[in-house]
Amino acid sequence: MRKILLIGGTGFLGSAICRHLSRRLAKADFSMTLPTRRRERAKQLTVLPTVNVVEANVHDPAALARLMIGQDAVINLVGILRGDFQRAHAELPAKIAAAAKAAGVRRVLHVSALEAAADAPSAYLRSKAAGEAALRAANLDLTIFRPSVIFGDGDSFLTLFARLAKIAPFFPLACAAARFQPVWVEDVAASIVDALDRPESIGQTYELCGPRQYTLRELVSYAAKTAGTPRSVIGLPYAVAWWQALLMELIPNGPMSRDNLLSMRVPSVCTAGCTLPFGRVPTALEVVAPSYLRDGRWRAGNDRRRKKARR
């Protein structure tokens, strides 16, 4: 029996990885353990026969040590857009590295973010870089993934714009010229699952991007139009955007923060054009997004879960 610990596995990307693993591996051959802060929020995953959702505080080294027992690999997906970045993105990977080492779990896969760097403009990207560094320093069989923004049914990106387009007559948009290279959640999940069985991925850092770059303005217009509610987008000057973000920080789980603005100063695009590892061909946004944006068919589930979970 092959055992995989999926930390942060109850969210958008984790659910896709669970589906891929469940499909790809023979049921009798493996099992996944997914720790969560609240088991009831991960009900949709408890129905998968190979998935064991357990309530645990992964920040507690003793709890982590228990979770590591008997595992063959650990995948860390914990990530937040607001809150204590240092704790979630830097301290937790360091604790995971220590627990994995102590338990003899050598294989570690970790999801970071494109353009994570110690000197990045945003605390989010700096904390992601610190997490990568902590894991690298532990000298494990490590693979790091750095996706651009991820789209797919249940995303909190295109779906948010489509949803806002239903209620707003136009979009006053911060950082309209910011660049992204969105990558499909299924392509990200498949790349991570591929890496589990590829020794050549050990020691590698993979950027994950879709086939095309877009400005934020293009993405917002596209989402609104595809949802059947085309809207004009009005780019905001940075100073106005800063005040808008400050106000949104006052709303619990508001859609924007000042740190998000700082993140968008760095283009979230792949350095070598479009890249996915292992010869995988990235799926175009236009092929997938209409299936969940058109006529408001998007899945509310992840958004609601994130709100409840305050992530």
Length of the chain: 311
Residue 10 or 29 having the CB closest to ligand NAP:
10
- Least Å distance, CB 243 to ligand NAP, is 25
Residue 156 or 221 having the CB closest to ligand NAP:
156
Cα–Cα dist 259/89, whole Å: 15
Residue 88 or 233 having the CB closest to ligand NAP:
88
- Least Å distance, CB 50 to ligand NAP, is 17
Cα–Cα dist 282/231, whole Å: 28
Residue 53 or 245 having the CB closest to ligand NAP:
53
User: Angle at CA 188, nearest 5°, toward 229 and 106?
Assistant: 150
- Least Å distance, CB 231 to ligand NAP, is 22
- Least Å distance, CB 302 to ligand NAP, is 6
- Least Å distance, CB 91 to ligand NAP, is 10
Q: Which residues bind ligand NAP (CB under 6 A)?
A: 8-14, 36-37, 41-42, 58, 77-80, 88, 111, 113, 147, 149-150, 157, 302, 306, 309, 311
Rounded to the nearest angstrom, the gap between the alpha carbon of residue 48 and the centroid of all alpha carbons in its chain is 21
- Least Å distance, CB 298 to ligand NAP, is 14
Residue 184 or 243 having the CB closest to ligand NAP:
184
Residue 149 or 165 having the CB closest to ligand NAP:
149
- Least Å distance, CB 226 to ligand NAP, is 18
Pair type for strands 73-76 and 2-7: parallel
Residue 36 or 71 having the CB closest to ligand NAP:
36
